[in-house]
Amino acid sequence: MKNTSSKHKHMIEVIESELKYTRSMIGRDRFSPRVMEAMKKVPRDKFVPEDLKFLAFDNGPVPIGHGQTISQPYIVALMTDLLELEPDHVVLEVGTGSGYQTAILSQLCKQVYSIEVIADLSEAAEARFKNLGYSNIETRVGNGYQGWPEHAPYDGIIVTAAAAYIPEALKEQLKPGAKMVIPVGLPHMHQELMLVEKDRQGEINVSPILGVAFVPLVETPATDTNDTAH
Ligand code: SAH
């Protein structure tokens, strides 16, 4: 039986070898050393349910309850790398889920704001951040289609569920020169990971990166007046 640290090390090797197959699609054959450091540091086993810990370091999605999944590590690394984060950046994440992607982001920037529509998942993620000592994360229960205008504009936005279209509010909350990564497409249909860039003049450019399979970004009824920030 492999121990936790050798399984974690293997996960990193698998991400690096998967890059060989995808480099022509994603236009790069390596992720930044900062991103790979964060992937090495954040303990993925602390973000999956107790009975599925044996899957924690596999390069695949893992169910986290409520029909949701923690994303595949390779995709987490790719999406993070595409954002090209700097230590002074403020980032918005839509779809906190387990909080794993949030934790990776928190290693690479100044502050992460993360929205989750399912209160139970948001609370569980919040508890993990406290336990693990990640203090530059603020979470909120709400509908990510509207973004989080109070802290906008952002140096980067990441959406970890597939949207039917790129939400207007998220485009607005992006700083000029900043990037957003978002899977676009319908459930069980073709979805494409998109890189959305707002140029210095405020023009939006969208480039497809890779075919992906994400849970849907749900359009919840207008209950946002009951949103709670943690
Ligand atoms: N980044 C997460 C992935 C979770 S899956 C992780 O690393 O674990 C996507 C998450 O998006 C789910 O938890 C789902 O509940 C959430 N979600 C779906 N629609 C949403 C919406 N409109 N606003 C905010 N979160 C949403």
**Which of these, 222, 229, 212, 46, lies nearest to 134 by C-alpha position?**
46
- Domain assignment present for residue 217? The answer is no
- Domain assignment present for residue 55? The answer is yes
> Ligand 1 centre and the CA of 68: distance in Å?
7
- Domain assignment present for residue 227? The answer is no
**Which of these, 32, 129, 15, 2, lies nearest to 72 by C-alpha position?**
15
**220 band by pLDDT with thresholds 50, 70 and 90:** confident
CA–CA separation, 15 vs 4, rounded Å?
17
- Residue 1 is predicted with a pLDDT of 61
Residues 6+ apart with CB under 8 A from 185: 162, 164, 191, 192
**Which of these, 32, 14, 144, 20, lies nearest to 78 by C-alpha position?**
32
Ligand 1 pocket test: which of 102, 140, 218 has the largest number of ligand atoms within 8 Å of its C-beta? 218
- Domain assignment present for residue 153? The answer is yes
pLDDT in tens, 29-64: 899 999 999 999 999 999 999 999 999 999 999 999
Q: What SS3 state is found at 54?
A: helix
Query: What pairs with residue 229 in β-bridges?
Result: 140
In the set 71, 106, 114, 122, the catalytic residue is 71
Residues at CB less than 6 angstroms from ligand 1? 64, 68-71, 94-95, 97-98, 100-101, 115-118, 121, 143-145, 160-161, 215, 217-218, 220
Per-residue pLDDT at 228 exceeds 80: no
Using CA atoms, how far residue 168 sits from 53, 145, 165, 174, 216, in Å, is 38, 8, 9, 10, 17
> Ligand 1 centre and the CA of 95: distance in Å?
3
Q: What SS3 state is found at 91?
A: strand
- Domain assignment present for residue 224? The answer is no
- Domain assignment present for residue 223? The answer is no
63 preceded by a cis bond (ω within 30 of 0): no
Residue with CA closest to ligand 1 atom 19: 217
> Ligand 1 centre and the CA of 2: distance in Å?
31
| Residue span of the structural domain in which 161 resides | 4-212
| 106 catalytically annotated | no
- Which two three-digit tokens encode residue 164? 């039917």
CA–CA separation, 80 vs 64, rounded Å?
21
- Domain assignment present for residue 219? The answer is no
pLDDT in tens, 80-119: 999 999 999 999 999 999 999 999 999 999 999 999 999 9
- Domain assignment present for residue 225? The answer is no
The model scores a pTM over 0.85 = yes
- Residue 230 is predicted with a pLDDT of 56
- Residue 224 is predicted with a pLDDT of 44
CA–CA separation, 100 vs 71, rounded Å?
9
CATH number assigned to the domain comprising residue 15: 3.40.50.150
> Ligand 1 centre and the CA of 94: distance in Å?
6
* Domains of the chain: total: 1
Read off φ and ψ for residue 119, nearest 5 degrees: -60, -40
**Which of these, 139, 136, 132, 134, lies nearest to 116 by C-alpha position?**
139
| Ligand 1 atom with minimal separation from the 220 CA | 22
